[in-house]
């Protein structure tokens, strides 16, 4: 139960970000405000190094304008997705501590710091010159700012554009603007290639994405749902009661009646769910996804984070869609 509370708390930021504007996403057609400009400063000279890349810099994060006076050398990340982004753009050597959920990459300096129960004294003990968070729990942003520690607040993405903006924002804030831009370009190209590889079919296949064994799921209006939409899949949860939240809890009866072509399990590591456990659920053994081998066991972390590995998640989805097309 604690897992699903944490998931829904984190992903709720993405749902809330969707209120008020419009996006066309396929992070699906959804509602969302425009992604922020990743920086308010001129782009640094590409010949500069991380140590002298135009500091001080001011970036526009969810908590407003944040000025980083010097190239940070003691970064603390309290968000697993931010940790993945930092290492992916080449700022890993500047990271001195990460939260207890930041388990990727392996070299990340994991600690007992918590992003869900932030302890200001424990964070400050690492003498950070930059802290990155995805949740402003207990006013951690204001508390750290009050003791002159720059904080970048990057909440859960609502769209892929939000992911790209956050990568480039962290690149500017850490002295790696070129590396972050290159990563975004690479992600865009790989995603375009994956989407292009999806064969068009007369009728879209359906899917169910499971967050945990109590049958919480996502709709197409979420960041996760966007990836499935890009692959041309229809979400069985879109018409369910509570779909307006983005994260409804379905009933077993609803799922059985919907009979999805594919079931994606994002609860394999946390909860031990698998094809075998799904097939053993009352009435689930006759589902199309079960009888045709369409139950996909995901890595929970990759399936729930909006960092660089969204490309890996989309690749898995596309592979399954291609398999359906080939099987007729």
How many angstroms from the chain centroid is the CA of residue 7? 11
Q: How many residues does this entry show for the chain? A: 328
Domains of the chain: residue spans and CATH: 55-192 (3.40.50.1980), 199-327 (3.40.50.1980)
Q: Is 249 helix (H, G, I), strand (E, B) or coil?
A: strand
Tell me if 147 sits within 8 A of 131, measured CB to CB: no
- pLDDT mean across residues, the chain: 87
- Per DSSP (E only), the strands in the chain are 23-24, 29-30, 57-61, 64-68, 75-77, 95-98, 130-133, 151-153, 206-210, 234-235, 262-265, 295-297
140 has a pLDDT exceeding 90: yes
pTM of the full predicted structure?
Answer: 0.84
Q: How many CB atoms lie within 10 A of CB 183?
A: 22
Q: Which residues contact 241 (CB under 8 A, 6 or more apart)?
A: 248
* Amino acid 5: pLDDT: 47
* Amino acid 6: pLDDT: 53
Q: How far, in Å, CA of 177 to CA of 328, rounded? A: 46
Q: How far, in Å, CA of 193 to CA of 186, rounded? A: 11
202 has a pLDDT exceeding 80: no
Q: How far, in Å, CA of 75 to CA of 290, rounded? A: 45
223-273, pLDDT tens digit by residue? Answer: 999 999 999 999 999 999 999 999 999 999 999 999 999 999 999 999 999
């Amino acid at each position: 139960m604690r897992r699903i509370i944490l998931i829904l708390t984190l992903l709720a930021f993405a749902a809330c970000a969707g209120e008020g504007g419009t996006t066309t996403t396929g992070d699906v057609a959804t509602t969302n405000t425009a992604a922020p400009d990743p920086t308010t400063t001129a782009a640094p000279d590409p010949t500069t190094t991380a140590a002298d890349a135009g500091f001080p810099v001011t970036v526009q994060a969810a908590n407003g304008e944040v000025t980083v006076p010097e190239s940070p050398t003691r970064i603390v990340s309290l968000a697993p997705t931010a940790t993945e982004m930092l290492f992916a753009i080449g700022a890993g050597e500047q990271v001195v501590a990460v939260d207890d959920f930041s388990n990727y990459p392996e070299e990340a300096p994991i600690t007992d710091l918590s992003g869900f129960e932030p302890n200001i004294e424990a964070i400050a003990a690492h003498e950070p010159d930059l802290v990155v968070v995805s949740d402003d729990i207990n006013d951690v942003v204001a508390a750290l700012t009050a003791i002159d520690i720059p904080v970048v607040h990057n909440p859960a993405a609502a769209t892929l554009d939000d992911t790209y903006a956050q990568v480039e924002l962290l690149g500017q804030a850490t002295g790696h603007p070129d590396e972050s831009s290159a990563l975004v370009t690479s992600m865009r190209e790989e995603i375009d290639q994956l989407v292009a590889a999806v064969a068009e079919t007369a009728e879209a296949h359906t899917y169910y994405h499971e967050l945990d064994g109590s049958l919480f799921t996502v709709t197409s209006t979420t960041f996760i749902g966007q990836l499935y939409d890009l692959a041309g899949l229809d979400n069985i949860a879109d018409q369910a009661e509570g779909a307006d939240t983005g994260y409804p809890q379905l009933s077993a009866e609803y799922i059985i009646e919907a009979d999805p072509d594919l079931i994606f399990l994002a609860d394999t590591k946390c909860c031990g769910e698998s094809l075998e456990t799904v097939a053993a659920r009352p009435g689930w053994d006759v589902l199309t996804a079960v009888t045709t081998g369409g139950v996909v066991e995901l890595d929970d972390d990759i399936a729930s984070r909006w960092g660089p590995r969204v490309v890996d998640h989309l690749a898995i989805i596309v592979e399954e869609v291609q398999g359906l097309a080939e099987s007729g």
